[in-house]
Structure 1
């Protein structure tokens, strides 16, 4: 260090200081301003990008909440439509059952009426056959009894005995 102090020259120091100051002035004039401007522009660009990203994030959150709301509304509407469809289905089934019961009742009544009419017709025919048979039997019995003279006389006397005179 002593050697530096002994060899110190004011002229050299002056020129080195002058060149250094000139270099600083030239750097400031031509290099620092463009560099600082570029750094400031870069900083502004980064700030704008961060703001844009933040705005995009907020917008995405808004869209997500809007989508959630739309999905919830769609679910509610779907549930309402399904409920209405179930009610309509149940109503149609109920109406079909009621109609089927009414039709079955009508068919049963018609069948009962047909059975009764067939029964009455059969009873009438049976009565007619029984009466015809009874007449034929009575006719045969009477012919048999009235075939001889003695039987006829007995029958007339018996009938006269059964008849009471007032």
Structure 2
């Protein structure tokens, strides 16, 4: 039971040893422990500040990226609109040119048809005139075989010429 109930001498020596250990710890270990805790606290605080700063920088970069992305979208939309407008303009020009070319070709075709028609009519007239002359020549040969018929025809032509 002695071990369980300490006597006064044991308590005294335990107190002395405790005070010596406390003095040694305060003299040699307490300051380095406190300084290392302070350094650890400072490094943690510094790391937190750097983390906050990095977080702010990331937010700024994100905002900058979003701004660049918005500008890129606007530029893309502008380029697409310009390309669409240019394509529509080219299509409209092509349609206008095709219409003009078609009109010109139709006009040329009409002129060619008219020229062919006039040429055909002239040929028909020439052929008709030639046929008329051939027929008249044959008729006159047949009727003017005698001299008396020829004289009467010449006289009638002369009278007709004098009247005009």
Structure 2: gaps spanning 5 or more residues: none
Q: Which residue of 2 aligns with 1:8?
A: 8
Instruction: Name the residue aligned to 2:30.
Output: 32
Q: Partner residue of 1:118? A: 116
Bigger CA drift: 72-81 or 61-70? 61-70
Q: CA deviation at 1:63?
A: 0.9
1:141, 1:39 → 2: CA distance?
148
CA distance in 1: counterparts of 2:82 and 2:139, whole angstroms? 83
Per the TM alignment, residue 49 of structure 1 is displaced from its structure 2 partner at its CA by: 0.9
SS in structure 1 opposite 2:95?
A: helix
2: CA distance, partners of 1:98 / 1:16: 114
Alpha-carbon deviation of 1:70?
0.8
In the alignment, the residues of structure 2 paired with residue 105 and residue 148 of structure 1 have an alpha-carbon distance, to the nearest angstrom, of 64
1:40-119 equivalence runs, <5 A: 40-119=38-117
1: CA distance between counterparts of 2:61 and 2:42? 28
Cα distance, 1:91 vs structure 2: 0.5
| CA apart distance, 1:66 | 1.3
TM-superposed deviation, 1:147: 3.5
Structure 1 unaligned segments of length 5 or more: list them.
Answer: none
**Residues matched between the structures, number:** 153
Structure-2-length-normalised TM-score: 0.79
Name the TM-score, length of structure 1 as normaliser. Answer: 0.78
Structural RMSD (CA): 2.7
Distance 2:20 2:89 in 1: 100
